[in-house]
A and B are shown apart, each in its own frame.
Chain A
Amino acid sequence: MSDGLPPRVPKADAAGKSPLLEVRHLKKYFPIYKGVLRKLVNQVRAVDDVSLFVREGETLGLVGESGCGKTTVSRCILRAIDPTSGEILFREADDKVTNLAALDRSELRRFRPQMQMIFQDPFGSLNPRMTIFEIVSEPLYVNGMRSKTEREDHVAELLRLVGLRTEYMARYPHAFSGGQRQRIGIARALALNPRLVVADEPVSALDVSVQAQVLNLMLDLQQKLNLTYLFVAHDLSVVKHISDRVCVMYVGKLVEMATTEELFQAPRHPYTAALMMAVPRPDPSSRDIIQDLPGEVASPANPPSGCYFHPRCQFATEVCRTQTPELREITPDHFVSCHRAEELHLAGIKVNQETQI
């Protein structure tokens, strides 16, 4: 395998620092066993050679359809599951870079507080038998804050930060609505002052009128606390709304990574373009733009040869059927894995002047 990694130079931020998180050639295969002897018959390539990076203080959106491996990537980064191979480089406050993929459980403990997660389901992710105080203060207790008054002060501060009243501390999760529960989940994630917050579909379970509140809160908190987000979602409009840069995944592979505006206005990968055309616009006067992509998402257990997208791609040529494209940087900060990226001119989404605020 040739080095598909983007060159190091453009990755450093303005201050010349390396990214907060860099993932290199991450792979996660899930085995499929069969028969009494549990013979290994196949592997699901949930994440198949993904490389990406997140700069400090930015939001990286990760989009893709179900089964594309976006959740698996986020869980591997947090080491909730163990990657099959690859490197997860995390830069600590003192600029020391550590490969998390190589650490064992006890060595990881030091990194856990620095990386936290916001979960998708606000109903499943809060223990119904614990009060809000217990839920939010648990990470504090585990990490050595034993005094109850100290924890109470800290929890009160966190609840205020996410826009909840501090009197709610003694209540149980059932007393809260979906949006409030998601705020509780955010308060818990922020309890230990993490440097990286992984949010896995944080608003997809919420009603539309509440989604905007939670998204605004996340933007606010990022400014106040200089947080770095990895924002995983399937909804392109939500991802566009919150991200500085966006990665698009398809069947375990990263197909494109670019700044949000560039990705949406000038996508270079046919899948990204098709994905954007498939989003229904809330505008009845432009109805004919629903364009569909033929066929079905390929199975990660049995992916097609060459570029995984070629059976559905209208621009596919012979080289797409035989060779797997590598992720490469075609313009500064714009990475694409497509053989024909330079020659294709794909339509993006124009920013609607009416909706400008």
Chain B
Amino acid sequence: MVTQTHPLVKPASDLTREPLLRVEDLKAYFFMDEGIVRAVDGVSFDVMPGKVVGIVGESGCGKSVTMKAILQILEAGAKIVNGKVTLRSRIHHGDPNSAEELIELTHLHPNSRQMRRIRGAEIALIPQEPMAAFSPVHTVGNQIMETILLHQDVSKKEARRISIDVFRAVGISMPEQRIDSYSWQLSGGLRQRAIIAMALSCNPRLLIADEPTTAIDVTTQAQILKLLRKLQEERQTSIIFITHDLGVIAQMADEVVVMYLGMVMEKGSAMKIFKDAQHPYTQALLRSIPSVQSHPRVKLPTIAGSIAHPFNRPKGCPFHPRCTHFMRGVCDASQPHLVEVDEDHFVSCFLYSEADGTKKMNKTDAAPAKEESL
């Protein structure tokens, strides 16, 4: 546990079991003329070294805002109002064995030199839209070299060599030629690989992949997922994998964080989330997705209603208007907290006792998922 506030140097040996990144009770709100949108409302999770954390949720659940808050690249109008983000940062970025220090990112100014040193070198981002992420008027090689020159003390020639190496590492054929092409000359899959190459160019220890395969086709998606998994194993990079696709999460993540309307509903290992989900939302979500393994033309159990508008979020548990286990006077009165129901398995639901995490007796327990109503 970290209690100290400002950057503090600790010997690396003490930190091996500590998380690489710890997010504690993070809240990021949008202050708008129409009111306050509580996009992220108390999110906590840890990223252990060399592990993949999947953040899964539907649109408006705050998964992308969480990522932006960690990197401090929130839009104007959005602010981190509470919470701590602690990163184990290397003192010398180029040296993988350098001593580490704990940095509280939330204490740094978004434009500070230290924050800018961390982005790209320590935490790199794979954005969703590979087309929008590259500038169309510079070659992809130049854009990757820019990152390298910014963070590492190397010559231009050396930077080009590194760029070609990462291009090869992400499986782009003919890297010497491709490096001089423009983003619009590359196909969707190649562009996504080039973005991954750019993110890896400074050898970061944490990759944030924000829906990296949403814009591409399934066969290309399989290639990219395989590549990310290979790179993660080779380099022991930690990855925060943000997606709405439960299939992708199941294939990639070690730990899963399920979010709904800015709050963590459930978190735990991938096995526990997929095989033994405890939160009614996670259970309903898993039931309602069509699978290639299910029988054709049978009706799916659905989640009634639709996601609430961010301006009028329901009081209490954000999922209560759609929940089949809704308890009047409990779920709509106050917000539940995350309780540990099993080892490393946390659920935020009033069905579970806050004292010991056991399931309370509930009349609505075995109620089947209701058919839709609007």
A contact residues vs B (CB 8 Å cutoff): 65-66, 163-165, 177-180, 183, 207-213, 215-217, 219, 234, 236-238, 240-244, 260-261, 264, 274-285, 287, 290-293, 296-297, 349-352, 355-357
Contact = CB atoms under 8 A, between A and B. Distances in A.
B274 A357 contact: no
A330 B373 CA distance: 45
Interface stretch (B86-94, B104-112, B290-298): B290-298
Interface in B324-374: 371-374
Contacts of B289: 208, 211-212, 237, 282
Contacts, number: 184
Interface stretch (B15-23, B38-46, B135-143, B241-249): B241-249
A171 B326 CA distance: 30
A178 B245 CA distance: 18
A132 B187 CA distance: 40
A215 B300 contact: yes
A225 to B, nearest CB: 16
Contacts of B10: none
Contacts of A183: 374
Given A209-B303, A213-B302, A65 B294 contact: no
B99 interface: no
Interface of B: 58-59, 187-190, 217-223, 225-226, 244-251, 253, 270-271, 274-275, 284-286, 288-303, 306-307, 309, 322, 371-374
Given A180-B306, A215-B300, A285-B271, A290 B292 contact: no
Nearest to A61: B296
A288 to B, nearest CB: 10
Contacts of A274: 219
6 contacts: A211-B290, A213-B303, A216-B302, A237-B247, A280-B248, A287-B250
Contacts of A290: 222, 225-226, 251
Nearest to A245: B296
B250 A244 contact: no
Nearest to A64: B217
Contact of A279 (B226, B247, B295): B247
User: Which of B217, B219, B292, B322 has the largest number of chain A CB atoms within 10 A?
Assistant: B292
B300 A164 contact: no
B291 A237 contact: yes
Contact of A281 (B187, B293, B295): B293
